[in-house]
Amino acid sequence: MQQDCFVAVHGGAGILSRDSEGLVKQALANACKTALATLQIRNDVNAALAATEEAIVVLENDPCLNAGYGSNLTFAGTVECDAAIMTSEPGDYGSIGAVSGITNPIRLARAVLDHARIPDPLGRVPPMMLVSEGATSFASSVPQPPIAIVPVDSLITLRARQQWAKWKARLDQAEAGPVDSTCPTTAEDQMQDTVGAITCDRAGRMAAGVSSGGLLLKHPGRIGEAAMYGAGCWASQTNRQPHTEASGDSSNNFTISGRSTGEDIVRAMLARSIARALAYDQAETFSGEVDVHEALSEVFVNLFLKLSMARGELNPSAGVILLDRGDADNPRSVRLWCAFTTPSMSIAYASSRHPSPKVKILRRPTRTNTESPVYITAITLS
């Protein structure tokens, strides 16, 4: 039976200024529309994968987000991008890291995933992650569709250059003497980070992807959570309850996004740890029904925050969106979960039943001492 299809995107967890709110909202709405159009036209096994890719292409092309065109600049003043894409088929994953001169890094990650599906005549295991020059040379060898390779400077925006100059000067100053304590750190000032998308097609297949320009003033060659398996995105299909004719396969699927502490997201293997927590809950505790809120809270607090703070990180930043299908009371329900530790997170979502994208800048209330460090909310999509 054909079901509804769904898409959710995010523009990163971070501190979204009121000035750029309108632009970010528009970009997220456009990404939702493009992905939903793809899901509605296509009916093949790669529909969710293609929709996720197309959503992220929109976000990469928009200069107001830190991915593709408009990415943060490295310490050397260059653009180096990370991206990954995954489907709910076991091990179906491709990622690229530290690539320059690729207009849409997510298309290159997709090409790595596609390439890994082709058996090799000598039995060589195909790569799941390619970086730097090697990734660019792979891009030029992809036959169809071609991957756009452009001059490396063409992905730099004026705004990115200005931000770089400002923070480079501040770094030089800091290295010469003590920093003015009233200055914000880069972490408090830079724009939202990693963008991401999750989609679910009419047959219940899912895909998740992320793309990022990485940290402002990062060391060239630095690989962040957007390129690392198990860290920046995950797509899985778990049999969280018995398959029924009415519900189709039950499954869950999510993507995550980090802002200033991508390394801590890698250390916590955030995306995969959440996947495991959800599966574990099912197997061990909830006998068929998962408490998603509890699983998210558990992983954020006991793994991500604990590990980050043990390393002296004062404000570990991460945000996650998660599409969750089905619960015991209502097997056809689909919920979009959002969890983040930052002041805000920008998201958008749409479905075949409600095709007009809803855009939300989720902002947590001003902190109090008793408040949880993680803000978790859920939106019922159907």
Catalytic center residues: 194
> Could you tell me the smallest distance in angstroms from the CB atom of residue 15 to a second copy?
14
228 sits near a second copy (criterion: CB under 8 A): yes
Structure token digits, residue 112: 């790595």
For tokens 């996650």, name the residue. Answer: 320
Residues 52-81 that bind a second copy (CB under 8 A): 80
Q: Which is nearer to a second copy, 10 or 272 (CB)?
A: 272
| Number of C-beta neighbours around residue 53 at 10 A | 26
Question: Element (H or E) spanning 12, and its range?
Answer: strand 6-14
219 sits near a second copy (criterion: CB under 8 A): yes
84 sits near a second copy (criterion: CB under 8 A): no
Looking from the CA of 360 toward its CB, the CA atoms found within 13 Å total 16
Sign of CA dihedral 216, 105, 140, 114: positive
311 sits near a second copy (criterion: CB under 8 A): yes
- Closest among 5, 379, 45 to 198, alpha carbons compared: 5
How far apart are the C-alpha atoms of 166 and 158, rounded to whole Å?
Answer: 12
Instruction: State which amino acid sits at residue 202.
Output: R
How far apart are the C-alpha atoms of 76 and 78, rounded to whole Å?
Answer: 6
222 sits near a second copy (criterion: CB under 8 A): yes
> Could you tell me the smallest distance in angstroms from the CB atom of residue 222 to a second copy?
4
Per rule CB under 8 A, count of chain residues that contact a second copy: 63
Q: Stretches 12-20, 168-176, 328-336, 356-364: which one binds a second copy (CB under 8 A)?
A: 168-176
> Could you tell me the smallest distance in angstroms from the CB atom of residue 373 to a second copy?
18
Angle at 94 (CA atoms; ends 88, 100), nearest 5 degrees: 145
32 sits near a second copy (criterion: CB under 8 A): no
Binding residues for a second copy, rule: CB under 8 A, are 80, 90-91, 93, 97-98, 116, 119, 121-138, 167, 170-171, 174-175, 179, 185-187, 215, 217-223, 228-231, 260-264, 266-267, 269, 272, 276, 284, 307, 310-313
